[in-house]
Chain A
Amino acid sequence: MTEIKNRLPSEAEVSAAKDVISSFLVSMKNYELYPADHSFTQNFLKNIHERLDRFLSSYGRMRIGIEQKRLLYKSVTIYEAHTSEDNFAFLLYRDGLLWIEFFAGLTIEEIKDFFAILNKYKVLHDEPEEDIVTALWDANMDHIGYEAKEVFFEDVPLLDFSALNKKAIGVSEEEKKDKSTGSDSCENDSDHGSAETGNILDMVSGGEHQQWWSLTKEEFELLRDMVQEAERRVRVENLLQVLFYVLTKQENADDFVSVLDFLKTEWRSGIEKGDFSRVVHQLSILQKLKKSPPQDRQWVAEPLKHFFENISGRDFLSSLEASVRHINGNTPEQLNMFGKFLLFLEPIAIKTLGELLLIAKDQKVLEMLYAAMLKLGKIDVAHLSDLVDHENDLVALGATQILSKIKGKEADSLIVKALDHSSPKVRRYALRSHLETGDPCLEEIFKKIDDPDLTTRSMLLSFLGSGRNEKAERLLLNYLQRLEQQSVNEDHIYNCYTALGRCGSIRSLPFLKKTLLDKGWKSMLNGGKAIQQNGAIMALSKLEVEGAKDVLRKGATSLVPAIRKSCHSALEKMRQG
């Protein structure tokens, strides 16, 4: 090592070291811009690996000294920062790194891990807890070494062990005579009471003590299993039990909320893995507690209310995505627990649940999501509002279907909102649902008279023509009067007139008469097909009011043959009943 320090590097060596650092800096910038699995990222990682590899093959290891604004290679500056914003050296320096070293054999994986650490702790960004030194320790990379000074403890005075000797307490002069200091009560902290005891060698005879030296084969195997289990996983089940138990013992709101928050993160992670049963069990207890808090802990109701709202938010519920994708009828218990979990949610969850409809593959999962949304919608229908005009028609349709089951004024008004959805499927469903309420808002639904979807229009007109209705008549009359100048689909016009005939009254007669008798030549001159006149004939034939036949008879004497013929035909049909 001293040899390395004393030997000044050649120009070529310094230049190669500078080259490595430059490519590091460029790569660092790129690393911020592209995701880790992006081909660009892979390329620059490969590039830096090649450069470092070349350097290490030529010069052995590469140790970089770290100062606040400089990086050094064998005492020669190979990097110097000029601004504090862009100081790569400071990133390494501030947590106490003295040097960092790359060894031959460095892998791309290690470089990737190293970059991930640098990126996490980069200067001028939100700083995570812990630091770059602890992260490097945790990463435990074989070919990247470092040394750090204890910046955090610089001012701590070191203990003088010899000065501690005289402070012993608890051993009286009398007891010193019996220097064995036999056991006495230790109950205050270790609950290990008094016991007559001696050295193990005094307690067992002959060579029996050897059993304490050696582990049997079975014990070795058990020990190995215990270690493997401890290394492999955290015992989430027990962790949740402990936290929940501790939660129920909290005596003030702040502590209660802190533990609850902690638990929430654990629940979230459990749900992400599709493990609902523990969560459901604990939530059901909390819900009971919320509903009827004990006399001395009335304060729990408020934080629990917030808690249940919180777990109904998008942030928490996004943890359901994986489960919604994968759960199916093959795992009935899990499916059942999933359904039960949904029942704990508050209406605010509706929007996220609605969006989950898009990724659910299993019919039962879909049904459960619908059922939950229906239950929540009945509590507060307003949360379906965002869904009825959701850009995805499946979501909007689902919401509309739910609204149609909820019924009531608020639900109806949201269904009306769905009438404006871009998907004809949704509009049709919304219109049908709204019409089924039996008391639809005609002004609202009449806006659909020009709906681009034929089925929607037909449905509307069929409803309008379902019986004599003054409001419908007025709306149709206005519409048809305005329609005069426009070129509209022929069938649509006929349907409108038919509907007018079915819902109309004597009030429509003047308009129809005028349309039929005054416009005959005009429409012919316009090269039209006498659409309006034919429409009027259709309406008159359905109108069932006095005077309608007279107008038709007059039409039957029209100079326009087509009108004449149509009027005759209509009168004939009326005569036949």
Chain B
Amino acid sequence: MSQCPGKDEARVEIMAVALEREQQLLLALHSLLRTVLIHDDSNRQAVECAGNFVDAVSTLCGEDDEELTLQLSNGRFFLGDEKILQSKNTAALIQLMIEYFEKRQLSGVTFFHDINETNHNDILAFARMVNRAGEEKDPSSWLKNKIHEKDFFWVQLFEPIQEAGDLEAEGEGQDDISDGETRRDRARKAYSYGLANLKEVARKLGSGQRAGISKSVRLVQNLVNLLNDDEPVLLGLSTLRIYDDDTYSHSINVALLSMCIGKRIGLSRGALEKLGLSALFHDLGKVSIPSAITKKPAKLTNRENSIMQTHPLHSVRQIVMLRAPHSRKAQLVLPAFEHHMKFDLTGYPKASNWYPSLFGRIITIADVFDAITTPRIYRKTCLSPDRALGYMIQLSGNDFDPILLKVFINMLGFYPPGTLVELSTGELGLVIDTPPGNHLSGLPRVQILVPDQKNGYRKGEKINLAEQSSDSGNSLREITNTAHPAAYNIQPAQYLI
């Protein structure tokens, strides 16, 4: 019995009732692996275990022919990207299964929806093979081959676990992350993780499942660290536009911009975390709006528009559905509800006698700025970042809190990072920032972009446009026009961070 998960049966006295579906899957797998050690294929209990296991997989796969991934990472089981939480009832089972997987060097296994059509004998044969793998020299490869030999198309193994090295990370401390390159890497990772995380949350909510936000919390905490270390990197990151993935990248951009505003006005790191999370989830309700409306490549009809305008309400509902501590969710509700209300309450949802929360007002500014500077499928054109600010100023006090808008403009400068400028020299420059010394002129520092051989651009020199000729006292380069980087197929983040 040393090879099987039942070696410590006494510990695994688990009530099958009241277990989460994820935990039930582990229990079903455990029972299956244990039962095939004792019984042959014709045994009623063995057949029942195989059936239970298939049921557990199918339930979690849902109706969309999805695959189900059970992964072991860092001594934890994950189902999809959601960690399987431990409870008093299941702790022993989970520990046992971790040991079982580790012994077989299994880092994960994917079950496909076809498992539904597989006969019980194959399921039982698979279970026997997994048990047997524990006796092999290279269990994971052996098992992989066996699965291939048997043509079990409904299951696939992950690559084997690498032996853990010395993980003591001396010399890799937080205080060592002063190098700009490392921060850029962190920023890039944060954006990538953020996108993946938001998509997963939205996918789950869209299919009626409950989504946890622990990863989002961790992500936002990392962003707060990054913001404290290097605000310009975060601002540069917010210029990223992923045109075929606008809802998710928009939410991340809004989070980045909101947190930058929050930092400027002196919010504590705890409040920045709340603001970042609120911004990240402000548009969660769009999951509930038919894509025929959200992706419509034309102006919406009145009816469609009124459906679209329900998304803040849906956002609140989706936030309520999240699997997270109540207090955490309560912090997210107001900003999501208020982000289209407008400062003078002429937006939606309609409210009177209401003063939008600080986070709601910040997110409104970040939301609009990102929206009107992003080309969308339903909009022919969009504003360059500097013109977007010009547009927003006109709505100060109506749509936007005038003080916060000032802070926002202070933060970005009249030429926000990512604005493309055409210079009197015929050069093309990408705004990096507006140095503090340029406040009077409002002129930015730019990254000159030099055309390369592949119809793209490479980085040239960095120029402060406030610099004047020592002879004439005139500006060396003047801005003749501004443009949206999309007009030149330029992704500012590539050059800014």
Contact = CB atoms under 8 A, between A and B. Distances in A.
Contact of A74 (B76, B170, B395): B170
A249 interface: yes
A12 interface: no
B183 interface: no
B95 A183 contact: no
B279 to A, nearest CB: 14
A187 B305 contact: yes
A68 B442 CA distance: 54
B173 A129 contact: no
Interface string B215-259: 101100110000000000000000011111000000000000000
Nearest to B246: A189
Nearest to B177: A147
Contacts of B383: 181-183, 197
A249 to B, nearest CB: 6
Contacts of A215: 403, 406-407, 410
Interface in A105-147: 123-131, 133-134, 137-138, 140, 145-147
B380 interface: yes
A495 B78 CA distance: 80
B380 A161 contact: no
Given A75-B168, A186-B372, A230-B357, A129 B381 contact: no
Contacts of B347: 191
A261 B193 CA distance: 31
A274 interface: no
Contacts of B462: none
B265 A165 contact: no
Given A181-B382, A181-B483, A239 B375 contact: no
A191 B484 CA distance: 20
Contacts of A259: 316-317, 320
Interface in A155-169: 156-159, 161-162, 164-169
Nearest to B422: A179
B427 interface: no
Interface in B398-450: 399, 403-404, 406-407, 409-410, 414-415, 420, 422, 439-440, 442
A196 to B, nearest CB: 9
Interface in B157-199: 164, 166-176, 188-189, 191-193, 195-197
Interface in B127-149: none
A265 B85 CA distance: 23
Which of B75, B91, B368, B489 has the most C-beta atoms of chain A within 10 angstroms of its own C-beta? B75
B358 interface: yes
A436 interface: no
Interface residues of B, number: 138
A98 B169 contact: yes
Nearest to A203: B390
B241 A168 contact: yes
Contact of B88 (A124, A201, A230): A124
Nearest to A65: B168
A99 B483 contact: no
B116 interface: no
A298 to B, nearest CB: 21
Contacts of A188: 294, 296, 299-300, 308, 376, 378-379
A188 B193 CA distance: 27
B270 interface: yes
Contacts of A379: none
Contact of A66 (B167, B269, B488): B167
Nearest to B354: A238
A213 B439 contact: yes
B107 to A, nearest CB: 10
A201 B491 contact: no
Contacts of B189: 150, 153, 158
Contacts, number: 378
Nearest to A123: B91
A338 interface: no
B391 A192 contact: yes
Given A187-B305, A200-B389, A246-B316, A153 B375 contact: no
Contacts of A75: 166, 168, 170
B145 to A, nearest CB: 24
Contact of A99 (B169, B271, B391): B169
Most buried by B among A125, A164, A175: A164
B113 interface: no
Interface stretch (A218-226, A277-285, A437-445): A218-226
Contacts of B217: 130, 134
A479 interface: no
B288 to A, nearest CB: 10
B487 interface: yes
Contact of A186 (B76, B242, B371): B371
Given A124-B86, A170-B377, A98 B167 contact: yes
A179 B481 contact: yes
B381 A184 contact: yes
A494 interface: no
A334 B358 CA distance: 30
B407 A199 contact: no
Contacts of A90: 75
B344 interface: no
B169 A147 contact: yes
Nearest to B195: A159
Contacts of B482: 180, 199
Interface string A48-68: 000000000000000101111
Interface stretch (A1-9, A313-321, A367-375, A450-458): A1-9
Contact of B403 (A4, A74, A222): A222
Contact of A94 (B75, B329, B439): B75
A170 B299 contact: no
B37 to A, nearest CB: 21
A225 to B, nearest CB: 10
B182 to A, nearest CB: 13
Nearest to B75: A94
B55 interface: no
A96 interface: yes
A268 to B, nearest CB: 10
A258 interface: yes
Contact of A229 (B213, B333, B358, B483): B358
A181 B328 CA distance: 41
A200 B439 CA distance: 13
Nearest to A83: B95
A167 B243 contact: yes
B390 A202 contact: yes
B39 interface: no
A496 B170 CA distance: 93
16 contacts: A5-B170, A65-B166, A67-B164, A129-B325, A131-B214, A159-B195, A165-B490, A167-B243, A179-B422, A179-B484, A180-B482, A188-B296, A192-B372, A195-B391, A227-B265, A227-B358
Interface of A: 1-2, 4-5, 63, 65-68, 72, 74-75, 84-85, 90, 93-96, 98-99, 101, 123-131, 133-134, 137-138, 140, 145-147, 150-154, 156-159, 161-162, 164-172, 175-176, 179-192, 195, 197-203, 207, 209-210, 212-213, 215, 219, 222-224, 226-227, 229-231, 234-235, 238-239, 242-243, 245-246, 249-250, 255, 258-259, 262, 265-266
Interface of B: 73-76, 78, 81, 83, 85-88, 91-92, 95, 98-99, 164, 166-176, 188-189, 191-193, 195-197, 212-215, 217-218, 221-222, 240-244, 265-271, 273, 294, 296, 299-300, 305, 308, 310, 313, 316-317, 320-321, 323-326, 328-331, 333-334, 337, 340, 347-349, 354, 357-359, 367-368, 371-372, 375-384, 386-391, 393-395, 399, 403-404, 406-407, 409-410, 414-415, 420, 422, 439-440, 442, 456, 481-484, 486-491, 493-494
Given A126-B88, A159-B188, A165-B491, 4 more contacts: A65-B170, A154-B73, A180-B384, A181-B382
Q: Which 10 A-B pairs have the closest CB atoms?
A: A65-B168, A170-B375, A179-B483, A190-B371, A124-B91, A161-B494, A197-B391, A98-B169, A230-B358, A5-B170
